[in-house]
Every structure is written in C-alpha cells, then in structure tokens.
Amino acid sequence: MNDFDFLTGHWNVTNRRLAKPLSGSTEWEEFPGVSVATRHFGGAASFDEIEFPTKGSSGLTVRVRDAESGLWSIYWASSTSGVLDTRPMVGGFEGDRGEFFGEETCEGRPVRCRFVWTVSGGDAARWEQAFSEDDGRTWETNWTMDLTRA
C-alpha cells in the first residue's frame, strides 16, 4: 500500500523530453524541475506538484490505490491546459519497479502510454514515459525524469 512513500519530500528533477514523439526524431530537450510530494490516506494516496521554472509551467499528479485490486490510478494536470486528465494510468509495483498503462493522445491520435518508475534507494528515482502506436508491441520512450532528493 505504501508504494509511493519513497516520493514523499522535496526533489530536484532533470527532465529529458523528446521534441517530436513518434516522428522518428532523435532531438531531446533537457530542462530542470522542482517537485514536492506528499503522502495521504495512510500511504494509499500520493500527491505531488512539479514546477518547470524555465518553461513557466507546472503540473500536479494525484495517485490513488484501489483497496480491492491493489492497483494504483495516476492522474495528471498541467497548468498549461488547466485540465485534469481523467484517463488514469493504472498499474503497480513489483519491488523497486512500477509499471502503469493507459491511453494518451499524440498529435491528435490515440496511443498507448506506459509509465515506469524505478526507485534507487531513498535519494534517487527515475520516471519514464513511453508511447506505443501498435498496442504495446513496441514502445518509444519520450520523457524521462531523474529525481534526486533536495
């Protein structure tokens, strides 16, 4: 139930994002972030806000664990759009690695989306986002966040 407890606290984040996902592009942009995460419902919920100071934007993530299935649902909102994405990423952890799957839109077309969380001790973690146009047979990673405890 406490899968996201590792995230509680303040983090410095190095973001790398593919400039044009699913286009064959290999151009990456790198930019900083600062994140604060909190734990709720005795570890069955997690909330974080991240600021991207060079982008002039921020986002927030809400994670809630289903008590019956044990699966997590992850929701994202961005200051850019001002909308909470109600299509959750759903999944869970095995050890220090978590995988979550859902639906996303890329350039106006629907794609499968995967998040991978990797915990590296108490002071480092990595988040990756990947898209698939072939229902998960192949994946293109398009955003990574390397977190170090502030």
pLDDT by residue (tens digit) across 64-117? Answer: 999 999 999 999 999 999 999 999 999 999 999 999 999 999 988 999 999 999
Q: Distance (Å, rounded) from C-alpha 68 to C-alpha 96?
A: 22
User: For the chain, what are the domain ranges?
Assistant: 5-149
Superfamily of domain 5-149: Calycin beta-barrel core domain (2.40.128.20)
pLDDT by residue (tens digit) across 6-39? Answer: 999 999 999 999 999 999 999 999 999 999 999 9
Take residue 69 and report the two structure tokens written for it.
């299935």
